[in-house]
Amino acid sequence: MATQLKNLSDFSHTIVPDGKNYKFAIAVAEWNAAITGSLYDGALKTLLANGVLEENIISVPVPGSFELTGAAEILLNKHSELDGVICLGCVIQGETRHFDFICQAVASGLTDVSIKHSKPVIFGVLTTNDQQQAVDRSGGKHGNKGDEAAITAIKMAHLKATV
């Protein structure tokens, strides 16, 4: 596996624009709260460390990853000044096909909301085989997907503002 020994949250090879002029919302699933809480902490710290002002960040909890699509739609409809929405969740493979349905619905739904509003809606959802993989990607040995989602949001907001 290519990521087995790699910290995926290393951005030393890229330039991250200053986020001081951007406004973001973070929607975070309450399901798998220990994992999603770590993702949220990473995203929030990364936004702040890259210049996004605390008052320009709206945070909302949602019951689970499936509800992230609805939350992104509501946030963009209610807060037209937002430059993007970061959606954070964690779906861990189980014994049924539920995992497949949820992951596909969330990925497609967030893409649709992004296209509809012509604003970045970031897929910061872990889709792992087990709990340990989720731990490893939410602040563990593979970095923090929340950090990655925040950097992606800043870079995409900058792209929208400059092209």
* Burial class (CB within 10 angstroms; exposed 0-12, middle 13-18, buried 19+) of 62: buried
Mode of pairing for the β-strands spanning 84-92 and 24-29: parallel
Query: DSSP assignment of 75-119, as one string?
Result: HHHH-TT-SEEEEEEEEE--SSTHHHHHHHHHHHHHHHHHHHHTS
The β-bridge partners of 128 are: 92
Determine how many CB atoms are found less than 10 A away from the CB of residue 34: 11
Active site residue 98: yes
Catalytic residue, from 98, 117, 142, 158: name it.
98
Angle at 76 between CA 71 and CA 77, to 5 degrees: 100
β-strand pairing of 138-140 with 143-144 = antiparallel
Give the residue numbers annotated as catalytic, written as ranges: 98
